[in-house]
Copies of this chain bind each other. A is one copy, B any other.
């Protein structure tokens, strides 16, 4: 397996002003594609350090990916250091210059002499086109090792990696063809998901790697299958079989096999049924609505909501009777039931989701400790509520509350789907 190292360059990284997300992003894509990554390094915009790091990594790895230091300012010295590291001259690359010139012309902006600097590259390099910015990427061989230089801006780097670098690496190293299937889950911790899938095997010649990634509060699983040639139908069949097995072991925790977020799944299900949803939020303060409306096109199904943080708002905007608040308290299933019912009625939607809870750090009691959350769903068939207790701090309790409410709706929709199908 070809061993690839990643070097990220920038004072802001080593001084802790910016968290490096390029190295993990590149690694995840490389590992998925059948490569091995054994080393991330971050160093400052310092010529001698860049030279030393390039040389030692090139001597050690089969390929090296470098990001950062290709910008127009004086502290961007990666190209110059690369030339020195491998005894090349720095020369004005006409193709790179044309790119910068045309990009500025397109934006109707004036080019500075700094931007011209970005076209000075080591001799004998192959350009990596950047469709989204002025910094051209390039590739050169250092001590027989291919080194790919990419800008530090994530969306530029990602597009250049996908379109050029990954292809070049595949051609050169011919890694095992890998088929990938995703399962997105909610409701089980990462270690629980891991233990449920632990003895997951595939028949020869298949080989399976299972990758987990916590996208709090979701846990994403990727099944990476190798051992089959590209286009071999046996590979796709084996992947489907193992994905089915994984999905059945994880049960209802799997909400999507299509790389969706939970909110995207819920919105897709609602859209396909032509139904709508409203919210009534207390401890989450609007987080459930915010999560739903992160998804483009949410307006087709999400009508709105009432954030009834204070009890007066619960009474006046959602008609919760005083007597109920006094007898049971705001964080109770009877109150949550009214919130859900009234939000559904007043906002005229198919469904409404309600959340009340004690997110902390204050407000806990022996009967209702911090983390106690009541969730409700109002549907055409009636209202149901439940009480759960989430561990963790205020933000975690709020985040899990919003997702648990979405999950109640998803399960209600799934049950309808399966009963609809049953009737066909």
A residues with a Cβ closer than 8 A to B are: 13-21, 23-31, 37-44, 46, 49, 211-214, 278-279, 281, 283-290, 292-294, 296-299, 302-310, 312-313, 316-317, 346-348, 360-362, 394-395, 398
Contacts and interface: CB of A to CB of B under 8 A. Distances in A.
B212 A17 contact: yes
Contacts of A281: 286, 289
B303 A313 contact: yes
A114 to B, nearest CB: 14
- Copy total for this chain: 2
15 contacts: A15-B28, A15-B31, A15-B211, A20-B20, A23-B42, A40-B41, A41-B42, A284-B293, A285-B289, A286-B288, A286-B290, A290-B398, A294-B398, A299-B309, A304-B310
A12 to B, nearest CB: 8
A62 to B, nearest CB: 15
A16 to B, nearest CB: 3
Nearest to A296: B361
Contact of A290 (B39, B287, B303): B287
A53 B39 CA distance: 10
Nearest to A363: B299
A330 to B, nearest CB: 11
Contacts of A313: 278, 303-304, 347
A19 B18 contact: no
Contact of A395 (B27, B31, B294, B308): B294
B37 A14 contact: yes
Nearest to A283: B293
A418 to B, nearest CB: 29
A362 B296 contact: yes
A179 to B, nearest CB: 18
B279 A290 contact: no
Contact of A27 (B15, B284, B292, B310): B15
Contact of A37 (B16, B18, B24, B361): B16
Nearest to A60: B52
For the complex of A and B, 7 pairs with smallest distance between CB atoms: A285-B293, A286-B286, A286-B289, A16-B27, A16-B28, A304-B313, A16-B24
Contact of A44 (B38, B41, B348): B38
Contacts of A212: 17
Contacts of A46: 38
Contact of A347 (B14, B214, B317): B317
A409 B24 CA distance: 39
B27 A40 contact: no
Most chain-B CB neighbours within 10 Å: which of A214, A279, A292, A310?
A: A310
A14 B39 contact: yes
A39 B395 CA distance: 32
Contacts of A394: 294, 296
Given A28-B17, A38-B14, A305 B293 contact: no
B306 A304 contact: yes
Nearest to A56: B56
